[in-house]
Structure 1
Amino acid sequence: MPEPSSTKSSTPVESKAFPHDEEYYMENIVFLVEGYLFSVPRYYFAHASDIFWSTFSLPPGDGKTQEGSSDSCPFVLEGVSRADFKGLLRVMYPLQMPHLGNDMNLPRKDWIAALKLATMWNFRNIRQLAISKLSLDTGIDPVDKVVLAKEYKVPDWLLAGYHELVKRSTPITPLEAARLGLETTVYLFHVREDVCSSEFAYYSGYKRREDQNFMEQVKKAFKKELKEVEAAHVEYNALPSSYPPVDMTQGK
């Protein structure tokens, strides 16, 4: 098997003598998260998030070193957990090569972490990918689905979660009510009560509750909230997928 080879020279090579490839000469950026340093290519941060793009576009100031340029001058991320950041990085920079048959088979917690930070930092493509992957996860509890939908503005999950809670035969538990909040729980109780006492439920009594469709009742009861979440979701989808290159050599 042939091995990589290089031309050895007894004298140092001047790096400035060679041009940088316009696509695959990447600089790293160093982040500090919960006391741990991360060194990753800055490309996606600088090109796919308006928040990082605008931050990186600011000059460091006279005599100051660019944040993120080294271990001694990291870009500090406050209010972000190390676990969540690693979840985002596993999606952004997978260590396995997808073209070798690995379809980013990440655990649910990593996709949720990626969705959380992608929503926070406006990574449109990663947000869409995380939503797509999590939408295929049939094991997500309806209460979790509602909570995630509200927090990260995913209208399909909100509607589906409410519908599952309305149509299931078991009542909403006190623990679930605490997670859903008082207002949401009251609305759900009203819809469930209306469904049980409606003519539709009476004449469809031969059907199991779980087999019936109550989407229209859910849409009517949660019309305002569904509209607000849908509007926020549309705004995220309207974000640019990439931004102009940023010169990070300033201040070095």
Structure 2
Amino acid sequence: MAEIIPNVTPGPALENHSMYSWDIVSFVVEDCIFSVPRQHFVTGSEVFAKKYGLLDSVEDDTRAATPDLHRDPTPSKNTTFNNDKKLIHLDGVTKPEFETLLKLLFPVFTGSTDPTLSQAEWVTILKLSSLWHFINYRKVAIATLRKQIQAPLEFVEYAREFGVSEWLVLGYKELVVRSETLNERIGTKLGHIVAFKLSIMRETRLKESQAQSNGRHNSPSSSSKTLTPPTTEDRIRARFRGELEKIIQREKEYRTKEEIAEDENSRLEEEGLQQKQIRIQIEEAQAKLLKDEEDLKARQEQLQRERVEVEKKLLQLEVSNLMPAHGNTAMNSSPPGFKNGVP
């Protein structure tokens, strides 16, 4: 009996959704495997994606997991395989820390679209986003912690650890303006040299405040004549310029491509303005030199004319002195035998 083949009409061609069609990647942190969508890690940090080979396609992962000619004979030190599954081992992170990052990347819906994270969890996110260059997540963490952190020592500590220059200024400023004095514990955490500088700034600020208060009572009009002193923030930036510059250089590592392009454009514009200013200065110098040369030439010509006039006057004077002398000689000379023209 002949086999009956059912008449199957092929369905419409299917394609993956451009946004909601995610590949799964498996990370190993300590003794735990996390299987999560790859896309968030690829788009979140190019540095992370390159370091852990996330730019490879899923097909590449499958081929690498099978024992054939396609398998990389020297796989990455961060990569292992388990039941044909590629496992990426993450270093520099604990299991609870990675869980905290995943709370932000893949929030569990609980009636609110905003993830509720503690200050400690946001510090963890700041740590990992800085470590792995998740720039946008780092910005979110910085903005959130700015509102949550209260202690100036925490601002200073996190500024130094994670490279946030404004937090260093903010922490130092709070320590200068607050009424509570700097104690030994603060000095130990800050470093004794920093604590000494801040103590001097506190004393200077107190003296200036007292002087201004006395000035207002003694001479109301004199205060308006004095120059406005620099702010505490300005003084901090000047006094701790070296430390700030180091942190600012670290901050530049966490710029987006757009920010890098913007900074480059600003740099080129600034260089263009500087070159334009230099050209203007050169043109002004050349114009001044030309004018000086013209003035010198005019002065030389004037001196030459004056010299000619002087020489003319000298010649006229010599002639005038010679003419009477010859006349007197003719009149006073007498022939022999005559005295004054009389025989």
Q: Do the aligned partners of residues 40 and 176 (structure 1) sit closer, same or farther apart at CA in structure 2, a change above 3 Å counting? A: farther
Q: Is this contact kept in 1: 2:126–2:142, CA < 8 A? A: yes
Query: Aligned ranges for residues 51-62 of structure 1 at < 5 Å?
Result: 51-55=47-51, 56=53, 57=55, 62=70
Q: Do the aligned partners of residues 191 and 94 (structure 1) sit closer, same or farther apart at CA in structure 2, a change above 3 Å counting? A: same
Displacement after TM superposition at 1:70 (Å): 6.1
Q: Is this contact kept in 1: 2:237–2:244, CA < 8 A? A: yes
Query: Aligned ranges for residues 79-118 of structure 1 at < 5 Å?
Result: 79-96=92-109, 101-118=112-129
Which of residues 256, 264, 285 is equivalent to 1:238?
Answer: 256
Give aligned-pair identity as a percent.
28
Instruction: Name the aligned partner's letter for residue 90 of structure 2.
Output: L
* Cα distance in 2, alignment partners of residues 227 and 156 from structure 1: 11
The structure whose residues are more often helix, as a share, is 2
SS in 1 for 2:131: helix
Residue in 2 that maps onto 1:229: 247
Displacement after TM superposition at 1:77 (Å): 1.2
Query: Aligned ranges for residues 142-153 of structure 1 at < 5 Å?
Result: 142-153=152-163
Q: Is this contact kept in 2: 1:124–1:240, CA < 8 A? A: no
Residue in 1 that maps onto 2:71: 63
- The answer to whether 1:21 aligns with 2:34 is no
Structure 2: unaligned runs, 5 residues or longer? 1-12, 65-69, 215-230, 260-343
RCO (CA 8 Å, sep 6+): is it higher in 1 or 2? 1
Residue in 2 that maps onto 1:13: none
Q: Do the aligned partners of residues 28 and 176 (structure 1) sit closer, same or farther apart at CA in structure 2, a change above 3 Å counting? A: farther
Which of residues 182, 202, 226 is equivalent to 2:211?
Answer: 202
Quote the RMSD (CA, aligned, Å): 3.0
Instruction: Name the aligned partner's letter for residue 195 of structure 1.
Output: R
Q: TM-score, normalised by structure 1?
A: 0.73
Displacement after TM superposition at 1:190 (Å): 2.8
Q: Is this contact kept in 1: 2:48–2:133, CA < 8 A? A: no
Displacement after TM superposition at 1:131 (Å): 0.9
Q: Do the aligned partners of residues 180 and 24 (structure 1) sit closer, same or farther apart at CA in structure 2, a change above 3 Å counting? A: same
Residue in 2 that maps onto 1:141: 151
Q: Do the aligned partners of residues 232 and 78 (structure 1) sit closer, same or farther apart at CA in structure 2, a change above 3 Å counting? A: closer
What per-residue deviation string (whole Å, max 9, x for no partner) do you get for residues 196-231 of structure 1? 3x33443348xxxxxxx6223222211232233234
Q: Is this contact kept in 2: 1:115–1:127, CA < 8 A? A: yes
Q: Is this contact kept in 1: 2:27–2:87, CA < 8 A? A: yes
Residue in 1 that maps onto 2:38: 42
Q: Do the aligned partners of residues 188 and 83 (structure 1) sit closer, same or farther apart at CA in structure 2, a change above 3 Å counting? A: farther
Residue in 1 that maps onto 2:136: 125
Q: Is this contact kept in 2: 1:155–1:226, CA < 8 A? A: yes
SS in 1 for 2:34: strand
SS in 1 for 2:109: coil
* Cα distance in 2, alignment partners of residues 113 and 68 from structure 1: 26
SS in 2 for 1:74: strand
- The answer to whether 1:184 aligns with 2:197 is no
Residue in 1 that maps onto 2:262: none
Q: If you compute each CA radius of gyration, which structure gives the higher value, 1 or 2? A: 2
Instruction: Name the aligned partner's letter for residue 150 of structure 1.
Output: R
What per-residue deviation string (whole Å, max 9, x for no partner) do you get for residues 21-43 of structure 1? 22211112111112222121111
Q: TM-score, normalised by structure 2?
A: 0.55
Which of residues 140, 158, 161 is equivalent to 2:171?
Answer: 161
Instruction: Name the aligned partner's letter for residue 34 of structure 1.
Output: E
SS in 2 for 1:32: strand
Q: Do the aligned partners of residues 81 and 164 (structure 1) sit closer, same or farther apart at CA in structure 2, a change above 3 Å counting? A: same
SS in 2 for 1:156: helix
Aligned length: 215
* Cα distance in 2, alignment partners of residues 201 and 222 from structure 1: 25
- The answer to whether 1:220 aligns with 2:228 is no
